[in-house]
Amino acid sequence: MNIVTRQGVITVIDEPSYTFDSADNLRSYAREFIVGDDGLSSVHGVMLNDTGVLVIGAGGGGTGVHAHCARVIDDKLVLAVGNQVACMSLIPPMTCYGPARWMSRRVSVSIGRRDRAH
């Protein structure tokens, strides 16, 4: 998934075989984050202009990269991974933090499953 921003092209990649704290991964990232405390079932990598800047993992069930898992809002990347939502500043120094520090009245994030009746 690619998102064009003022800072460049952000690419979000599904990284199901990524191992944290290992030098033997296919791609390398400047920072690693694990959010939540219920294990790892989803791992997504974030690249900016083809440079790995962040890999983030979460539990709560496997999720993949899709058209609605990431949004850029006010120079921040909001990314759904597993049952968590993370936010990364796109302005140096790039930092990653949870939703409590960026949520406002004009932003609404919902992660869930929508079942359709047939």
Q: Determine if the peptide bond prior to 92 is cis (ω within 30°).
A: no
State the Cα angle at 32 between 30 and 38, rounded to 5°.
170
Does 113 map to a domain?
no
Q: What is the mean pLDDT of residues 86-112?
A: 58
Does 107 map to a domain?
no
Q: What is the mean pLDDT of residues 57-68?
A: 88
Does 54 map to a domain?
yes
Domain holding 83, by residue range, is: 2-18+27-101
Q: Which residues contact 114 (CB under 8 A, 6 or more apart)?
A: none
3 versus 38: the higher-pLDDT residue is 3
How many other CB atoms are there within 10 angstroms of residue 88's CB atom? 23
Confidence of residue 115 (pLDDT cuts 50, 70, 90): very low
Q: Return the C-alpha torsion angle 54, 59, 60, 66, nearest 10.
A: 30
Supply the mean pLDDT for the chain: 81
Does 116 map to a domain?
no
Length of the chain, in residues:
118
Does 114 map to a domain?
no
Does 94 map to a domain?
yes
Q: What percent of the chain has pLDDT over 70?
A: 78
Confidence of residue 56 (pLDDT cuts 50, 70, 90): very high
> Domain count of the chain?
1
Does 118 map to a domain?
no
